[in-house]
Amino acid sequence: MVKKILLYLVLVAGAAFSVGPYLLTLNASFKSEQEILTSDPWTPPADPILTNFTEVWGRYDFATFVVNSVIVAVAVTVGQLVFSTLAAYAFARLEFPGRDGLFWAYIATMMVPQIVTLVPTFIIVRELGLVDTHLGLILPFVFGFLMPYGVFLVRQYFKTIPVSIEHAARVDGAGTLTILWRVMIPMAKPILGTLAIISFVNTWNNLLWPLIITHSESTRVITRGIAQMQSQFNQEYHLILAASAMALLPLVAVFLAFQRHIVRSIALSGMK
């Protein structure tokens, strides 16, 4: 009984530590600039205001930032699902020379810090003429240059599916693509849902690559837009926190909508 109480206390403390910054952001987003600087962070706003949100939306063309982030995040998520699934199936089921060595060589890139690959990736994108374009933001992540874990995640899940199911499908006359589309993908929906959430959240929150590859308003994503609101001589904390709160809401909605897929994928795959 005592161990269970201690366990719950640790879990509650961990949850409070994780959720606390988001609650502080939401709380402060309804405060005026003066109140943010003079009141305790946990103190509720004396007179909640909405002008922070309207000012951010109007002054910084926040709608463009949101639209660009949605376009990039959705495109990267769809691309990751398609190419990671194809590559994962090849590594999990198809037989070809050097398969395992190629797979582990590709997975080894996960241990390389992203900052190391930024310069060569930028050079490739520049040579293709994709600097300051939506494609320049999307393609490096779709093809796994900067996010290689998707192939590993799906491949490990495919390995847990009995081969006998595929053999039965081949006896019925199904080809490789038919098996992938009608057998493997339906059975892998939980892990694909997990990959979709991870890809969407990581892309939505990514700042470093957009900071390097974009410079115009037309391609600026939400993280780049919030960074633009900060300067050395003018820190408008009330606007920055309001923008951060608005940027947070889509992520909360995505997680609430797909959280069952994460739980199910952990239960079925035995992932820790």
DSSP letter (8 states) at residue 201? H
Rounded-to-integer distance, Cα 270 and Cα 125, Å: 38
Residue 130 CB partners (closer than 8 Å, separation 6+): 136, 139
Q: How confident is the model at residue 57 (pLDDT cuts 50, 70, 90)?
A: confident
- Orientation of helix 62-93 relative to helix 134-142, angle to 10°: 30
Mean pLDDT of the chain: 85
Please list the alpha-helical segments (H only) found in the chain: 2-28, 33-38, 51-59, 62-93, 99-108, 114-127, 134-142, 149-159, 163-171, 176-179, 185-187, 189-205, 208-213, 222-228, 237-269
231: its two tokens:
């300067």
Q: What is the pLDDT of residues 114-171, one digit of tens each?
A: 788 888 889 999 999 999 999 999 988 887 666 778 888 899 889 888 888 888 888 8
Rounded-to-integer distance, Cα 113 and Cα 116, Å: 6
Q: Which residue has the higher pLDDT, 265 or 183?
A: 183
161: its two tokens:
């599916």
- Residue 78 pLDDT > 90: yes
pLDDT of residue 271: 45
Q: How confident is the model at residue 11 (pLDDT cuts 50, 70, 90)?
A: confident
Q: Enumerate the domain spans of the chain.
A: 1-49, 63-269
| Homologous superfamily (CATH) for 63-269 | MetI-like (1.10.3720.10)
